[in-house]
Structure 1
Amino acid sequence: VSDSKAGVDVTQDVIVLAPISDGAVAVDWDHAMEAGLALADLESSPSDGAQFGPVPSAASKAKSYETWNKDFAGCLFRNQKVDLFKSPSTKEVSSPGESERDFRVRLQQSGREVRDKQSDSLRQKYAPKIAAIQDRIRRAGQMVERQQAESRSSQMQAAISVGASILGAFLGRKTVSATNIGRATTAIRGAGRAIKESKDVGQAEENVSALQQQLADLEAQFKEETDTLAAATDPLNEKLETVSLKPTKANIAVKLVALAWTPHWRDSNGATIPAWS
């Protein structure tokens, strides 16, 4: 099996045993069983005193083995595959035969590298936004201080003006005069400005509070994404995907299709029992 994307190139030997019959399908490779041995384990001569069962007619024809060779290659193409583990976070794929535990242990190092890289990207994403809001909070705070200073000054001037107007009205010869009315009007206007600037202070403070809430929300969002990233790149807990790789016809090579005799014991009732495992 070879897959350049997964970085896998592995060769597996498949040795199976399939019974031969005189039926329409003499050999059914789809129902063959794993032999559990290597070609070198096969013996060329039987044990002393061994008896042989009858040979099906198809097994005595050389052409049958050519057909069975092609059929076996087709069976391998349909049924053989290599199942591997894949990490969604690092995109790494396990090696053939590597257990899930060993693969997760190997992922820890690469997972840390991926997590550090993604964390840097996340910080670069949020740092300008956080800095911008912090700067707006700083400038809004300065505005509050100016508004408070102007409001205190206006309130003091209005209080002095109103006090002077009232005092002038009481101390003057005429209770109601154009001068007194003018002074009172000026005092009222000053008081109006003081009230307006007091409202401006309140609005400026509300603006600071709103910006502080935006900053808190942004920091909470950053923490949530950071926690999600940490969980997603945890090789010991992340859910691994399964990648199944199948061989191509060009990658299948049948080395040998041969007639083999499997040893059996015959019990007292004449039934045969496999003498191999």
Structure 2
Amino acid sequence: KSVQVSPVEAEAAAPSPSAAPAAAPPAGPTVPAGFAATPPALTPTTEQVYLPIAVDERAAIRQLAQEEGAQIDVKLAQLVYEPAVLGMGEVRFYDRRRNVDERLIHAMLAQPPRGIGGVEWGQAENLSLRLRDLLRNPERVEAEQGPFFAPAPEKVNNANDLKNAAKDLSDWLYYNSDLELKVHEELDIHQEPGENERDFKIRLQQAAREARDAEVDKLRGKLQSQIDRVTEKLRKEERELAGDQADYESRRSQEWIGIGESVLGFVLGRRSSRALSNAASKRRMTVQARQDIEESEDQIAELKDDIKELEAQIKEGADEITLRWAKSIDNLSVEAVKPRRTDVNVELTALAWLPSWLVSYHDGRRERTATVAAYSLPK
């Protein structure tokens, strides 16, 4: 902005030749309202950590532009830190019967308590963080960008408060942690920790097929032994039938020979009661041989029917077993493995400083500011 002045005013305002102009103090960075250029002073025993930056300045600006739905004119992006409470712990889930031994890491980020009461761990966010990811100092940026720090919370700003928060976190993890496992009781199979649904179902189907095959084999073995016994009887009857048929043919031949001899004797006038008796006897034996054939044929037909019935039982039983195991795949229950008190270990409870980008920009209508979280948010 230019200002017009007169020559007299300019001469009066000009410094005397003997006076040197005073050096202007260097302009410091503009500190955002509600923040300070230095972290708040806390006791050395107060555990403090800084969350790493996961969203850099450019990514934050892109995210903001996407939210605005238009191009924005960024004036300044400053790094600010705000306080929260971070608790990190490990929970072990052990079940000897299920052969489960799983450990889960929790990085719980909670807001500092307000008023009466402690940290509300039930309202905390679970972050994807490890102890090695945490920083002991803030990130470095350009001087005009900060970093700048919000005031420390009224509570949880000393070692004693953090110790109480750690105890509360241990209690919360103990009472609220469980490892749910899908279980198929009949197959005695459970979903392994971390196993996805597809892989678990493939294992179930494979186990069900193996159980089905074993049951079908058992049924087939039981009925096959009966089929084998009936088949042996059938072969015996078929051998007897062949003998009966040969005997029948022999009897018929002898009967026809006897009839021929009787007719010849009658023609020659040598008819006798003995010849008639022999002819009658041969006739009876032929009839008996024919009856033996019919009995063998009936027995063979009955045995064949028995074999068909047993084979049908195998097929029907196998179909029923296959259908039952196919339906049983979905017969799942859920078991929860709970930790023991000694299985809960709180590794860290600290005052955590959360990085964000405070962006000053013009949206085409007016100057605005927005805050974009720079740490990794829970998914």
Q: Normalising by structure 2, what TM-score?
A: 0.51
Q: Deviations over 1:9-47 (max 9, x none)?
A: 222212222334437775443443221111222223345
C-alpha distance in 2 between matches for 1:10 and 1:245: 13
Aligned to 1:275: 374
Aligned to 1:141: 238
Q: Does 1:4 align with 2:4?
A: no
Letter in 2 for 1:67: D
Contact 1:22 1:58 survives alignment (8 Å):
no
Name which of 141, 148, 153 aligns with 2:250.
153
1:276, CA displacement in angstroms?
1.2
C-alpha distance in 1 between matches for 2:132 and 2:270: 135
Please state whether the residue corresponding to 1:195 is helix, strand or coil: helix
Q: Does 1:73 align with 2:174?
A: yes
Aligned to 2:129: 37
Name which of 107, 120, 123 aligns with 1:15.
107
- Label 1:42 to 1:29 Cα distance change in 2 as closer, same or farther (>3 A): same
Q: Which structure 2 residues correspond to residues 171-210 of structure 1 after superposition, within 5 A?
A: 172=269, 184=276, 187-188=279-280, 190-210=282-302
Q: Normalising by structure 1, what TM-score?
A: 0.65
Task: Give the paired residue count.
Answer: 265
Letter in 2 for 1:13: I
Q: Which structure 2 residues correspond to residues 80-91 of structure 1 after superposition, within 5 A?
A: 80-81=178-179, 83=181
221-230 or 32-41, which moves further after superposition? Answer: 221-230
- Label 1:267 to 1:219 Cα distance change in 2 as closer, same or farther (>3 A): same
248-257 or 60-69, which moves further after superposition? Answer: 60-69
Instruction: Mark the runs of 5 or more structure 1 residues left unpaired by the alignment.
Output: none
Contact 1:265 1:274 survives alignment (8 Å):
yes
- Label 1:210 to 1:73 Cα distance change in 2 as closer, same or farther (>3 A): same
Aligned to 2:338: 247
Q: Does 1:257 align with 2:336?
A: no
Contact 1:140 1:207 survives alignment (8 Å):
yes
Among the aligned pairs, what percent are the same residue? 27
C-alpha distance in 1 between matches for 2:299 and 2:117: 86
35-44 or 195-204, which moves further after superposition? Answer: 195-204
Contact 1:59 1:259 survives alignment (8 Å):
yes
- Label 1:86 to 1:41 Cα distance change in 2 as closer, same or farther (>3 A): farther
Letter in 2 for 1:73: Y
Please state whether the residue corresponding to 1:257 is helix, strand or coil: strand
- Label 1:25 to 1:210 Cα distance change in 2 as closer, same or farther (>3 A): farther
C-alpha distance in 2 between matches for 1:206 and 1:32: 84
C-alpha distance in 2 between matches for 1:212 and 1:69: 75
C-alpha distance in 1 between matches for 2:244 and 2:114: 105
Contact 2:181 2:190 survives alignment (8 Å):
no
C-alpha distance in 1 between matches for 2:211 and 2:217: 10
C-alpha distance in 1 between matches for 2:347 and 2:125: 18
Aligned to 2:148: 50
1:246, CA displacement in angstroms?
1.8
Q: Which structure 2 residues correspond to residues 206-245 of structure 1 after superposition, within 5 A?
A: 206-215=298-307, 218=310
Q: Deviations over 1:43-86 (max 9, x none)?
A: 2334553222562547766274133431232222xxx3154787
Letter in 2 for 1:254: V
1:214, CA displacement in angstroms?
4.0
Q: Which structure 2 residues correspond to residues 103-118 of structure 1 after superposition, within 5 A?
A: none
1:131, CA displacement in angstroms?
3.8
- Label 1:64 to 1:196 Cα distance change in 2 as closer, same or farther (>3 A): same
Query: Larger C-alpha radius of gyration, 1 or 2?
Result: 2
Contact 1:73 1:253 survives alignment (8 Å):
no
C-alpha distance in 1 between matches for 2:337 and 2:344: 10
C-alpha distance in 1 between matches for 2:193 and 2:301: 59
Aligned to 2:48: none
RMSD: 5.0
Q: Which structure 2 residues correspond to residues 160-171 of structure 1 after superposition, within 5 A?
A: 160-169=257-266
- Label 1:3 to 1:158 Cα distance change in 2 as closer, same or farther (>3 A): same
C-alpha distance in 1 between matches for 2:123 and 2:255: 104
C-alpha distance in 2 between matches for 1:87 and 1:103: 14
